[in-house]
Amino acid sequence: MTGTRTLREVPAQSQSSETLDPRNWDDIRALGHRMLDDMLDYAADIRDRPVWRPIPDEVRARFHSALPRQPSDPGEVYREFSDFIVPYATGNVHPGFMGWVHGGGTAVGMLAEMLAAGLNANLGGRDHIPIEVERQVVEWTRSMLGFPKGASGLFVTGTSMANLMAVLVARTSALGQSVRKRGIGDEGASLTAYTSRAAHGCITKAMDFAGFGSNALRCIEVDGLHRIDVAALRARIALDRNAGLKPFLVVGSAGTVDIGAIDDLRALSALCREERLWFHVDGAYGALGILSPMLAPRLAGIENADSIALDFHKWGQVPYDAGLLIVRDGDRHRDTFSAPAAYLRRETRGLAAGSAWPCDLGPDLSRGFRALKAWFTLKTYGTEKLGAIITRTCALAGYLEARVLAEPRLELLAPVQLNIVCFRYRAADANRVNGDIVIDIQESGIAAPSTTLLDGRLAIRAAIVNHRTDTRDIDALIAAVLDFGARRSSSSGGVRVLNLEQSPLLAM
């Protein structure tokens, strides 16, 4: 038995048949072509599918099987993928997906992802062109956001990670590089950071992970448009200074998650300069609004930030995941993350050249080639087209807003500023009814809005991010809300979930 042999007794590989490469490349080629055709059809015919469907117990149970010790035919594995994974995906490729903030992806992005997997490049470091591709996309991002030369950036999973890294760079900037050895200590315990009440929860988590604790984050009041109240921020900073605390960081939002508010970034940057605070912008989806001539003026001041987090996988339509952190002063960025190691020795020539390496800019050593799909997307469509898509999603939000305002059974719950519309069906017990409506719509497969709470009122939240969404999808959402709303408010009991094939709404 193999398990009882010593290593010396195991025959060294002598034939290619003992590798993981296919015995017959023609077979895998045919399978690959079929997969490619199927996934292109998936996107091309996406409107024929429900946006999302509930996962039957039997299907879920298939993914609790035992560890596969023996090989399977890849065609069989692919059949499982087709039958049990594809139908139960999140649904954000579909134009009816309007929940949370999910991009729709593109065929080009998908193909780029395949090419990246083919190269299997590790972008932690060393001297190879995939890293230059990443540097190129960072450079394009730098120029679109108006950062100076010398800025540095890095692809990461998403803005949650990019925000955490920004807090760490701000921490090093405030406490010096020695914080990396001795921890935040007593001095760090008196540091305080500021953001708005409407900011994303990952900023609170970032403060926790960075060792400050979430109590060190002050969540400042917002105005009627959900923008940070700059006067209240200024007052809180003064209060904290008087109490002996040391303000060090302000996080502005370029597109809040609830309703898409953009803070007054110009006022924030001026305040930060005056108070000598690190100014970070959470631009998860809003920062790419800079590509839309209509939205760009509203982001004025973003170019003065010390760091910006953004996601290409949202409004940029790049397939998941493709977050990015960009830092104005590349030295501070490197000071936060670079760490020498004998096994990562840099050279001036050969494969170990090309320092600084991406691993000097973030926590990851092994990193995939995320940049390729962003590079393909930017080159294929160009920033004008991508900007036009962003503008159009906002116009669609305006269309949805108008439909809500014209319908007496519906109520708008927040001003529409970007691409997010929060509204509800008027009903007694409105929070319960609207929560049920959203689940009913998701289960029907017609659309996939999500919910949020605004001043205690549960909102149906539609974030129009997907480039495929058009007025048909908005009309279908409204019709579904009215239909399910009427049923939910006329009966306190259950509602028969619409069978997709029978739904008259799908004909819209």
Ligand X SMILES: Cc1ncc(COP(=O)(O)O)c(C=O)c1O
Helices within 146-245 (DSSP H only):
159-175, 179-182, 185-189, 201-209, 230-242
Asked if 305 touches ligand X (CB under 6 A), the answer is no
Buried/exposed 437-470: b ≥16 CB within 10 Å, e otherwise: bbebbbbbbbbbbbbbebeeebbbbbbbbbbbbe
Q: Which of 46, 51, 93, 101 binds ligand X (CB under 6 A)?
A: 101
Q: How far is the CB of 201 from ligand X (least distance, A)?
A: 8
Q: How far is the CB of 100 from ligand X (least distance, A)?
A: 6
Q: How far is the CB of 370 from ligand X (least distance, A)?
A: 12
Q: Which of 191, 257, 404, 414 binds ligand X (CB under 6 A)?
A: 257
Rounded CA separation 189/185 (Å): 6
Q: Which is nearer to ligand X, 112 or 287 (CB)?
A: 287
Rounded CA separation 63/318 (Å): 28
Asked if 227 touches ligand X (CB under 6 A), the answer is no
Strands ordered across the beta sheet of 246-253: 152-156, 323-327, 307-311, 278-283, 246-253, 191-196, 217-220
Q: How far is the CB of 293 from ligand X (least distance, A)?
A: 22
Q: Considering only CA atoms, which of 335, 329, 340 is closest in space to residue 307?
A: 329
Rounded CA separation 188/194 (Å): 15
Asked if 103 touches ligand X (CB under 6 A), the answer is no
> Do the Cβ atoms of 456 and 419 come closer than 8 Å?
no
Q: Which is nearer to ligand X, 282 or 443 (CB)?
A: 282
Q: Which of residues 313-332 bind ligand X (CB under 6 A)?
A: 323
Q: Helix, strand, or coil here: 136?
A: helix
- Stretch of 3-11, 80-88, 236-244, 253-261 lying at the interface with ligand X (CB under 6 A): 253-261
> H-helix or E-strand containing 76?
helix 74-80
The residue number with the shortest CB distance to ligand X is: 158
Query: 146-165 mask for ligand X (x: CB under 6 A)?
Result: ------------xxx-----
Asked if 284 touches ligand X (CB under 6 A), the answer is yes
Q: How far is the CB of 89 from ligand X (least distance, A)?
A: 17
Q: How far is the CB of 57 from ligand X (least distance, A)?
A: 29
> Do the Cβ atoms of 87 and 54 come closer than 8 Å?
no
Q: Which is nearer to ligand X, 158 or 330 (CB)?
A: 158
Q: Helix, strand, or coil here: 262?
A: strand
Q: How far is the CB of 64 from ligand X (least distance, A)?
A: 27
Q: How far is the CB of 323 from ligand X (least distance, A)?
A: 5
- Stretch of 279-287, 384-392, 438-446, 495-503 lying at the interface with ligand X (CB under 6 A): 279-287
Q: How far is the CB of 101 from ligand X (least distance, A)?
A: 4
> Do the Cβ atoms of 159 and 309 come closer than 8 Å?
yes
Q: Which of 126, 142, 200, 487 binds ligand X (CB under 6 A)?
A: 200
Return phi, psi of residue 86, to 5°.
-55, -45
**Which residues lie closer than 8 Å to 494 by C-beta, 6 or more apart?**
none
Asked if 263 touches ligand X (CB under 6 A), the answer is no
> Do the Cβ atoms of 241 and 247 come closer than 8 Å?
yes
- Stretch of 281-289, 389-397, 403-411, 487-495 lying at the interface with ligand X (CB under 6 A): 281-289
Instruction: Give the interface size with ligand X as a residue count (CB under 6 A).
Output: 15
Q: Helix, strand, or coil here: 318?
A: coil
Asked if 97 touches ligand X (CB under 6 A), the answer is no
Q: Which of 97, 194, 212, 285 binds ligand X (CB under 6 A)?
A: 285
Asked if 172 touches ligand X (CB under 6 A), the answer is no
Rounded CA separation 95/39 (Å): 16
Asked if 282 touches ligand X (CB under 6 A), the answer is yes
Q: Which is nearer to ligand X, 281 or 476 (CB)?
A: 281
Q: Interface with ligand X by CB under 6 A: which residues?
A: 101, 158-160, 200, 202, 253, 255-257, 282, 284-285, 311, 323
